[in-house]
């Protein structure tokens, strides 16, 4: 159970990462829509591979709600939260597990149709690379 709580907090921290587009890209990218990808969740006693499906829905201006389903070898986790623009195409926010009371901070960097996500909590961290689904 403790492992599940740690993973939930880490996953959400990774989902809220900062996004940056290069100046050469003509149209600004948006987070809105479905994404999927993989990464690693790290905690005190080790690390596990992680896969996630993430959906961003615009809530206002450059703010988005986030819902995600992530899985490791030990279980499946439902997450929710929100992110907002931190300037350019970087976003930050918070996430939490829908079955647990764990939460984390998220920062992401958007690069066209891919994004790098980092989630951190008191119990560990997660790093993901997501692409449009």
Task: Provide the CATH number for the domain around residue 104.
Answer: 2.40.128.120
The predicted-structure confidence for 94-120, as pLDDT tens digits, reads as follows 999 877 677 899 999 999 999 999 999
Q: How confident is the model at residue 28 (pLDDT cuts 50, 70, 90)?
A: low
Residue 75 phi, psi dihedral angles, 5° rounding: 165, 180
Q: What is the pLDDT of residue 111?
A: 93
Of 6 and 87, the one with more pLDDT: 87
* Count of the separate structural domains present in the chain: 1
Q: Alpha-carbon distance 20 to 118, whole Å?
A: 14
Return the exposure string of 27-55: e unless at least 16 CB atoms fall within 10 Å of the residue's CB, then b. eebebeeebbbebebbbeeeebebebebb
Q: How confident is the model at residue 11 (pLDDT cuts 50, 70, 90)?
A: very low
pTM metric for this prediction: 0.77
Does 30 have pLDDT greater than 90? Answer: no
Domain interval for residue 36: 2-132
Q: What is the pLDDT of residue 64?
A: 97
Q: How confident is the model at residue 5 (pLDDT cuts 50, 70, 90)?
A: very low
* 58: number of Cβ within 10 Å: 13
Radius of gyration of the chain (CA): 14
């Amino acid at each position: 159970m403790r492992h599940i709580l740690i993973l939930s907090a880490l996953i959400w921290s990774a989902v809220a990462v900062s996004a940056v587009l290069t100046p050469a890209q003509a149209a600004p990218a948006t987070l809105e829509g479905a994404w999927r990808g993989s990464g690693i969740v790290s905690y005190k006693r080790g690390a596990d591979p992680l896969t996630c499906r993430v959906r961003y829905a615009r809530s206002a201006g450059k703010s988005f709600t986030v819902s995600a389903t992530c899985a490791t070898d030990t279980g499946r986790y439902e997450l929710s939260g929100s992110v907002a623009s931190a300037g350019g195409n970087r976003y930050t926010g918070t996430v939490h597990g829908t079955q647990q009371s764990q939460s984390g901070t998220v920062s992401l960097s958007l690069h066209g149709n891919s994004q790098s996500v980092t989630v951190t909590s008191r119990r560990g961290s997660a790093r993901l690379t997501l692409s449009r689904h």
